Every structure is written in structure tokens, then in C-alpha cells.
Structure 1
Amino acid sequence: MKKTLKTVLAVLLGTMMIMGVLGGCAKEQSGPTSAPTPNDAGGESPAPASPEPTEEVLTELTVGLDNDPTSLDPWSATDTLASTIFSTVYEGLLGYDEENNIIPVLAQELPLVEQDATVITFKLRQGIKFHDGADFNAEAVKLTLERALDPANGLSRRSLIECIDTVEVIDAYTVRLNLKYSFAPILNAFAHQSCMMLSPKLIESGEDISTHPAGTGPYVFGEWMDGDHVSVVRNADYWNADAMARFSSIKFLPRPEAATRVAGLQTGEIDVIYPVPSDQFQLLSTQTGLDVMCEEGNLVLFFEMNTQKAPFNDVRVRQAFNYAFDNEAFVQVVENGYGVPSTSSMASCDWGYQAQTMYEYDTEKAKALLAEAGFPDGFSCTLYINTTSKSQKMAEFLQQQLALINVDLKIASYEKAQMNEICSARPEESVHDLRCGGWGPSTMEADWATRPILTRATWSCDGGSNYSYYTNERVEELIQIGLSSTDQNERLAAYAEMQRIIVEDAPWIFVDTPGVLWAKNSNVQGIYITACGQIVLSQGYRTAG
């Protein structure tokens, strides 16, 4: 739901300003109300079509983002920013529509799911070519999936499909997947923006896929000038004639400084920006010719603590840091009211969420726990952040909070890719105490909200996104129950217990779920943003005037 200028001003001027702002960030339909379950395919589904604009102009679109992408390999990148870019170039067998329904894309229809969700058969669309001229067919699907599954490749998104045992080519346009075990969210996994199909020619060429993408999408990769821009250009030979690209090109501009992003939008240099800094949301809302929007998000923000490194290997220290953190003050000071304090390890709009008893702000209790852990006078530690304005604000707020319990927090700021590399050393060699992070599952459900960031198999040193090096045997058991059970109630019970244990173990300082704040030129239409912050641009266009 987009907020009009009148709505924004009414909310901001109301006596219940903070609650009003948060309510305004709610979409009418934020996610699935029950777990998506695999269904047998019906009939052939039409290719996704773009809306019919009354009048449009074929021009370049410019998008201002808060960083460079970490990679353009969809099976390697873990940042939503990168998916905003590579989803214009790549496509998957399945995808999500704007209402979070799973739809066929390169698949002809939803797959046939048999034998308790252990055998999945995809029928593929025919007559499609990759940008480099290679044919899209069953062999291309097999090669893409087997590359992702090979542990030697160290691809972080392998965990999406690690349930697959073998990939069979039945004929040129039919693929059968044999799973190791029942996997309830299998369709969600294939609809995830990272589960993209890669050109077999690209895979076999030895080219660096992270910087030379080749997919089947409506845009073709142009160039990546690190620190300056990434560009894609219109694919004149796109397979779906009803959904051709409507921009001549798209240029993605890294603008870590929030003020620079906003200035670019105001001057017309940039057409779309994300994120909008919360302290400038009101100002932008008053400017004619801009659409400034707050959407409900499922990104949870947190500070990951290195649970394998002293003193954070002591749960009392981790709990003390949570008691010392005032979430409500954070939402008002850092988010300017556009957020909700964390009430679990995942967002309330994700399927499987259950509200937990969180850490009530209590500095005396925090000090007592530190003393009990052997640190009555506090200690020094280092937080690693990326170079964005938001990360700096978060870090400074935490620094002030921890000073009240005699903890001297030092801040180390790096470009995002370098920060992630530093925080991916083996635990015994790791230098980071804390890392500023966030996670929002594109699948909108509890498994992907947890498994990639809080299990042993996904430690960052092994190519995953678990920078806290957290592991708990019971949590892992509960995740497996949630994955393999076909009983909805059993799955929900497992996820509820899992969240309770995670909150008690406190691998993070639990922060908040911010609203998704973004803005665009009013003449840019047909684009939207997901709950986790991916801007979907493929069917965007510009109107005249």
C-alpha cells in the first residue's frame, strides 16, 4: 500500500505519531497467512505479462542504492541489493508475483510434486535462449543445479536446494529432481530470487560469473565499474513478447551516503532510491513529482555476537548486551519511528513467526550479568560495520548504550564485501567481536528466516551467512522437523520452540524490523519493492510528462 502525501502528513501530525507511522507501513497483503504447500500442476501457465501503460517513453532508468553489490552470481550473493540488479538479467523456474504468490517463470507450469514431496518434476518453456546464445533446456537446468550443489564451489545459496539428491533429464524440456528427504518449502526455494538459471556456456567458459552474468531476462548485462555503476541494457530478443523491457537501460549507482542519494533524487539525477533515510522521509514527501513510500518489511536488524570467541561465548554476556539495548529508543532515535522493536528472531509477517518474551531494557540487570560472567568493570570490544550512513548511526547508538554498562565499543568501518571477508575467518582465527547485520527471507517463512544465518552448516567461514558462528543442536533438530513434516501444526510448534531457544541463547542483540522506505520519480511506473527490500524493476516503464 502506497502512502499518499495527505496520508503521510496526517500520520506525522497526529498525536499518536510513532504508532501512526508504523501502522502506515503495513501492506494490505504482507505475506502468506499459511505455509505455502506444494500442489500438483494444473495446466500450462501463461508467461508473466507486464501492465498496459497509456503512454510511455523508452529512456534510461537510474537507481540509487546504498552500496555496491557483493556479487552478481545469484548463487553466491547474499545481499538483497545484488538481487535488485541480477534479477533484471536472470530468471528462475519459479518466482513470486507482487502478492507473494508462487508463479511459473521459465517453467511451463507449477511442478508436479509426488511421493511426499520427494520427487519434483518440472516441464520447461521451449524456444528460450540465454543472452550468450546458449539454449535454455533441461541440460541447462541440470548444470545450474549441479554447480550450486557442488560443495567444492562454496556457493552460499547451496542451502536453498541441498535437499536435492539427483537431477535427471527426462527429455529436452523435462527435469526430475529426486530429493534426499521430504522438503516442505521446496516451491518457495525455487521461487527465491537466488535460484536463477545460468547459461551453460557461461558455466563452462571459466568466466567469473560474479562479474559476467548471462541469463534469460528482459535486460542484458552491460558493465560493472566498481564504485561507480552497474548497467544493464534492454534485451531486444527477450523470449516473452508480452513483457519486453520498457527502459532502454538501467544504471545502478552506489550511493552509501544517504544525503547523496536524496540529493540525486531531488535534482532528477536519480529516478529511484532505496533506502530513504528515515530522517528525510517527511521532507521528500512534500516534494512535487515524487512518490515517497513506506512498506511493511520483513528485514530484521541485529548485531551479531561472535559466539565462538570470548567473552561472547558466555551466554550471560550476550544476554547482558540485550538488556543494555533500548529497542524502543532505537526505533525513535535511529529509525525516526519507522520501525518496530524485535519480538522474535524473525519478522511478524513471516509464516511461522511467534512473538517471544524479549529483553526488557534494564542496565542494572545487564551490569549484574556482566559481573556474574567475570566482568564487573566491563571490557572493550569491536563492532564491524559497512560504510553506509544507517550502519554508522546504528553503531553510534549501540556505542552509547554499552557505555552505560562500562563497555568500550570500538567501531571498525569497511566496504561491505571487505567487512564480510574479515568476518568470515575460521572461528579460532576470527577478529570480529560483533557485526552489524540484517536478514529478511524472500520466501516469507520461518525456515529461510533462520537456517541460512543460525545453523552450523552456514557459518560464514564455510561460505554461509552465519557470522555469529551460532549453533544449537536442538535448534537444528527443530529446523529439520519444520523442513520435513507435512503437518502444519507440527511445523508451527517446531518453529515456535526454535524461536524461544534462539532468543534465550541471544546470538544477536535483537534490534528491530524497520519499515521499507523508498522513493521514485512519479513518472516511473510498474515497479515495486518486496518486504525484504528487493526492487522489482523488470516490468517498469516511464510515462510521458
Structure 2
Amino acid sequence: MKKKNWLLVFTIMAALLLAACSGGESSSSSGSESGGGSEEVESLTYASLTDAVGLSPIMTNDSASSNVNEHVYETLFKRDSETKDFTPVLAESYENPDELTWVINLKEGIKFHDGTDFNAEAVKYTFDKLRDPATAAPRASLLEPVDTITVVDDYTVEIKTKYPYGPFLAALSHSNAAIVSPTADQKQDLMKEPVGTGPFKFVSWTPGDQVVLEANPDYRDGAPKVKQFILKVVPEVSTAISMLQAGEVQFIDKLPTEQVSRIEGMKNVNIEKANGTGQYYLTFNFSNEENQDPEFRKAVASAIDRDAFITKLNGLGVRSDSVIGPEVFGYNESADSAGTAFDLEAAKELVEKNGYGDRPIKLLAANRGNFVLMAEVVQAQLAEAGFDVQIETMEWAAFLDTARAGDYDLTFLSWSNVTADGSELLYPNFHSDNIGSSNRAQYNNPEFDQLVEASRTTTDQDERLDILNQANELMLQDDAVVIMYHDVVTAALSDNLEGLILDPTGQWDVSKVTGK
């Protein structure tokens, strides 16, 4: 059994991943973590557009809940936003005696917020509950490859997978794979009273109003300088921006494109940006016979001028045809321009030749953010090519249900890709296994499925890069999607603070924030 040395392993992984993910920013922070200010911050308030669904990482899968949980709980590993490698958090090291076995050595001396020990039993308890069908965890798929979990000793856990699983470290770094206190989970409802090992402890939650956290004085890396962290529900983004300007909140994220110039004009605010893992794309309902026509998809793709659309984002979008974005493992620069190019005349010819303009096309869009902007721009561009496109907008939850049910012709979808792994982008969104759930396009291509499965069932990272590139190119050749843009994650922080960590996945960390 050969034990992996973290430095050697992650140096190799970093080299591989950096080669795959070249280009663009990968992270940003308001000042240096190691230098600059060190003053305590009595209270920091973040304006959240939506309330948390719950406060258990096992039972939630929404960004508002994750923003709380990522400060209360911790995972075994995390992905470094700059080097792209996976580094230990609650884990100490790991070893692979064979391609189906992961022996994870855990850090010792860590306590949950309720005073109980973090150990191998806690890891097994969490993962068993997450993958138990009776739990109905939203992200149980993270541990779908797991066969058995065995406690070797207090600080060693052995996980065996059903098949070689290349993205396993990525899965274990996902916020929904964070470790919970078994004692607390059996004693109370973690959806209302969370207990983890993180830098902040739970104080209170007033649904519809705010969640209050406080610095964990016993945190192993030292208590955060932010003594109280409040996540306040502010449903209207314009209100949140006004509160930021007035100093009533100190932090907002996901800055709306149309408000960037307003925020940039504020004298008491600094804006942070980082090229992100998220993406926004137009796709087809492949259950409709008309959409299975490759010339129809080619006509649609040829009619869309993505360069013109990008200019409307005020610098908050990255232009690339690639399904797998520049900040995601599996990206190959050659795919940046591998999609169908904008060619209005070619689109018009295909529309006229096949009579595509004779039937109305239902374009489904969520009624929030850039979804409406994408719909309006694309409707106009498709109309110029001769298509008859009718937009139908609806609120987010109804939109997701309608898209999942396949009640549309064309739609816009997005994916934040928290794992930053290409397999975990392509499998949930486009593999036929997930038609009726996360594969809202109902895309079904056996050749593509085989490639995605191969990318998941090898631990050879070079091989995974090659397979993912093949799958990416196949989707582009098939015009399965039209990538509108890859995300730029954003945040605005009061200028008397620094140290915010902004990750390409859109996640952020205030545990290093200090006063200037």
C-alpha cells in the first residue's frame, strides 16, 4: 500500500488542472489574506435575495442555504480556487491501495460546535445518511458510486466504490458532502439548528428575515475577526444596493448587469470579480420530434450572435463556445470557437428551405436576471432569421418544474458547477440517465453517454481530460446547446473591509475578512 504524499500528489494535480484550465481569472479577494488589515469586525451583514430553505447540508441544495452552511460546516477536502487542486480540510491525507478503495486519514482534535468529537464515525454517519434512499437527499448522487464505508479506527475511514470514480475528490469537496454532528442530528432538527465544525457557530434563524452566526472561538485556525455574521433577506436587488450604499449591509454578491455602473460609482464600496465555473445556455427540448432535426438546431445556432449579446453584460460574461468552461476541469482551449458560428444568411437559407418559420416556437425563460435579457435578444435574432418565436416567462420554481416536464421548445438553463469538474457538469445535465430530473433538455445520445461514463469511471486524470474533450466536441457538433456565456462571479464589499474570498464557483468565504 503506497501512501500518497499531499505535496507530490497535489503538485501533479495542479499541473494537470492548470494546463486544462488556462485563461482568465480564477479567484479574487478584497485584499491579501496574509497581509493588510487585522482589525476585528463587530458585525458584518450580507444581503441575501432569498431566504435559506434549511440549514442541513444533507437536506438542501440551494445557494441561500449553502451560503450559511459553508460557514458552519466543513468538508473533507476543498478545491483551491487558484491552483485548481484539492486540498485537505477535515481530512489529513488519503491513499488509494487500488482504484476502488479510498482510505482517508482524518485530522485529530477537532470538535463539533456541540462539543462532540469529529471522527471517522461522524464521516460514516454523514455519508450513510446522505446516500440512504430513505433520506431523499437532493444531492445523494454525489455518493452514488460508493459501495461501502468502513470505520478503520477513530481517525481513518475506508470508502470502496462500485467502479473507479475519477471525480471522487471533487464530490467530497462539494458543500452538500459537509460533515454533520451525529449527536446533534439525532437530538435536534439540523434544518433549523445546524451543528458543524466550521469557523462560525449558529445563533438564530428568523425565517423570512435573517440568519445570525457568531465566530467560533475554538476554531482550530483561530476565531474569525468577524464576530457576528448576519445573512439578511432583502428580496429586491435595488433595495439591497441602496442598503449597501447607506452602510446598512456591507456585502452583496451576484451583481446585476444593469446595476454595475451604479455600484461602481459608490465611493464606499469595492467590487470584486472572478471568472466563474457557472454557465448559461440555450438548449432544445429533445423529446420534440422537430428538435431532433439537426438542420433545425443548426439554423437556430447559426442565427444567434453571441458576441453581440456579450456586449450587453458589461464585462460580467466570458465568451466561449465550449460547454465545459475555462474554470472547469476538462476544458480545452480548442473548444472556445468549436461551436456553430453566427451566420445569419446560412440561418435564413435553412429556415426557408425547411419551412421552419411556419410553426410558432415556445421559448421558455425564468423571469429573473439575465434569463429575460437572453430571451429578448435571442427572440429578436431568431426572428431576423425567419423564425416565429414566442417568449413565455415564469417565476423560478415554476420554470424549473415546467422545464423538467418538457413543456417548451427552446429554453435557457444554467449550471453553477460547484464541483468544477466536467464529468459532474455533463452527467447530471445531459446524460440520458437523468432525463426527467436534472437533464431538462432530455438530451439522449448513446455515444455521448458512453463518453461521459468513461470520464467518470477512470482515475487517470490525463485520460479524463481527453475523454471530456471528446464529449464536449460531440455536443458542439450536435448543436445540443448554444452557450450564451460563462459566468463572472461578483461581489461588492464595503471599502473598510478586506479579505473576502470569492471562488469561481460563486461560493464565498467571510471567515478571513478583517477591518482595515
Q: Superposed, which structure 2 residues align to 1:300-315 within 5 Å?
A: 300-309=279-288, 311-315=290-294
**1:481 alignment partner, one of 426, 451, 454:** 454
2:178 corresponds to 1:185? no
1:206/1:362 Cα in 2 relative to 1: closer, same or farther (>3 Å)? farther
Give per-residue Cα distances to partners, 1:499-534, cap 9 Å, x unaligned.
111123333332011322321112222211111211
CA–CA distance in 2 between the matches of 1:179 and 1:69? 32
The residue number in structure 1 matching 2:482 is: 509
For 1:376, what is the secondary structure of its paired residue?
A: helix
1:315/1:253 Cα in 2 relative to 1: closer, same or farther (>3 Å)? farther
2:371 corresponds to 1:391? yes
1:259/1:419 Cα in 2 relative to 1: closer, same or farther (>3 Å)? same
**1:296 alignment partner, one of 275, 289, 307:** 275
The residue number in structure 2 matching 1:408 is: 389
The residue number in structure 2 matching 1:121 is: 103
The residue number in structure 1 matching 2:417 is: 441
Contact map agreement 1:395 1:411 (CA 8 A) in 2: no
Contact map agreement 1:468 1:508 (CA 8 A) in 2: no
CA–CA distance in 1 between the matches of 2:325 and 2:64? 19
1:144/1:371 Cα in 2 relative to 1: closer, same or farther (>3 Å)? farther
Letter in 1 for 2:127: L
For residue 271 of structure 1, report the CA deviation from its aligned partner. Answer: 0.9
For 2:277, what is the secondary structure of its paired residue?
A: coil
2:502 corresponds to 1:529? yes
1:527/1:302 Cα in 2 relative to 1: closer, same or farther (>3 Å)? same
The residue number in structure 2 matching 1:221 is: 202
- Cα RMSD of the aligned pairs, angstroms, is 3.0
Letter in 2 for 1:506: D
CA–CA distance in 2 between the matches of 1:380 and 1:332? 26
The residue number in structure 2 matching 1:493 is: 466
1:314/1:67 Cα in 2 relative to 1: closer, same or farther (>3 Å)? farther
The residue number in structure 2 matching 1:131 is: 113
2:128 corresponds to 1:146? yes
For 1:110, what is the secondary structure of its paired residue?
A: strand
1:373/1:197 Cα in 2 relative to 1: closer, same or farther (>3 Å)? farther
Q: Superposed, which structure 2 residues align to 1:194-205 within 5 Å?
A: 194-204=176-186
Q: Superposed, which structure 2 residues align to 1:258-337 within 5 Å?
A: 258-309=237-288, 311-333=290-312, 335-337=313-315
Contact map agreement 1:303 1:435 (CA 8 A) in 2: yes
Letter in 1 for 2:304: F
Q: TM-score, normalised by structure 2?
A: 0.84
For residue 345 of structure 1, report the CA deviation from its aligned partner. Answer: 0.4
1:440/1:399 Cα in 2 relative to 1: closer, same or farther (>3 Å)? same
CA–CA distance in 1 between the matches of 2:133 and 2:96? 26
CA–CA distance in 2 between the matches of 1:33 and 1:365? 42
CA–CA distance in 1 between the matches of 2:238 and 2:210? 21
CA–CA distance in 1 between the matches of 2:126 and 2:353? 52
**2:68 alignment partner, one of 73, 80, 85:** 85
1:320/1:295 Cα in 2 relative to 1: closer, same or farther (>3 Å)? same
CA–CA distance in 2 between the matches of 1:35 and 1:537? 26
CA–CA distance in 1 between the matches of 2:345 and 2:107? 63
Tell which deviates more after alignment, 275-284 or 323-332.
275-284
Contact map agreement 2:38 2:514 (CA 8 A) in 1: no
For residue 418 of structure 1, report the CA deviation from its aligned partner. Answer: 4.2
CA–CA distance in 2 between the matches of 1:364 and 1:70? 48
CA–CA distance in 2 between the matches of 1:472 and 1:82? 34
CA–CA distance in 2 between the matches of 1:51 and 1:183? 36
The number of residues matched between the two structures is: 485
1:133/1:112 Cα in 2 relative to 1: closer, same or farther (>3 Å)? same
The residue number in structure 2 matching 1:341 is: 319
For residue 119 of structure 1, report the CA deviation from its aligned partner. Answer: 1.2
For residue 471 of structure 1, report the CA deviation from its aligned partner. Answer: 2.8
The residue number in structure 2 matching 1:376 is: 357
Contact map agreement 1:92 1:193 (CA 8 A) in 2: yes
Contact map agreement 2:16 2:462 (CA 8 A) in 1: no
Q: Which runs of 5+ in 2 are unaligned?
A: 1-12, 19-32
CA–CA distance in 2 between the matches of 1:84 and 1:213? 13
For residue 233 of structure 1, report the CA deviation from its aligned partner. Answer: 1.3
- Identical-pair percentage: 28
CA–CA distance in 1 between the matches of 2:54 and 2:440? 18
Give per-residue Cα distances to partners, 1:232-279, cap 9 Å, x unaligned.
311545441x33133233222444544333222211122111122334
CA–CA distance in 2 between the matches of 1:423 and 1:351? 27
Contact map agreement 1:222 1:230 (CA 8 A) in 2: no
For 1:262, what is the secondary structure of its paired residue?
A: helix
The residue number in structure 1 matching 2:24 is: none
For 1:141, what is the secondary structure of its paired residue?
A: helix
CA–CA distance in 1 between the matches of 2:450 and 2:234? 42
The residue number in structure 2 matching 1:244 is: 223
The residue number in structure 2 matching 1:105 is: 89
For 1:412, what is the secondary structure of its paired residue?
A: strand
Q: TM-score, normalised by structure 1?
A: 0.80
The residue number in structure 1 matching 2:340 is: 359
Contact map agreement 1:64 1:254 (CA 8 A) in 2: yes
Tell which deviates more after alignment, 68-77 or 156-165.
68-77
For 1:243, what is the secondary structure of its paired residue?
A: coil
For residue 359 of structure 1, report the CA deviation from its aligned partner. Answer: 2.0
CA–CA distance in 1 between the matches of 2:257 and 2:53? 24
For residue 282 of structure 1, report the CA deviation from its aligned partner. Answer: 4.0
CA–CA distance in 2 between the matches of 1:75 and 1:316? 44
CA–CA distance in 1 between the matches of 2:14 and 2:398? 36
CA–CA distance in 1 between the matches of 2:48 and 2:297? 33
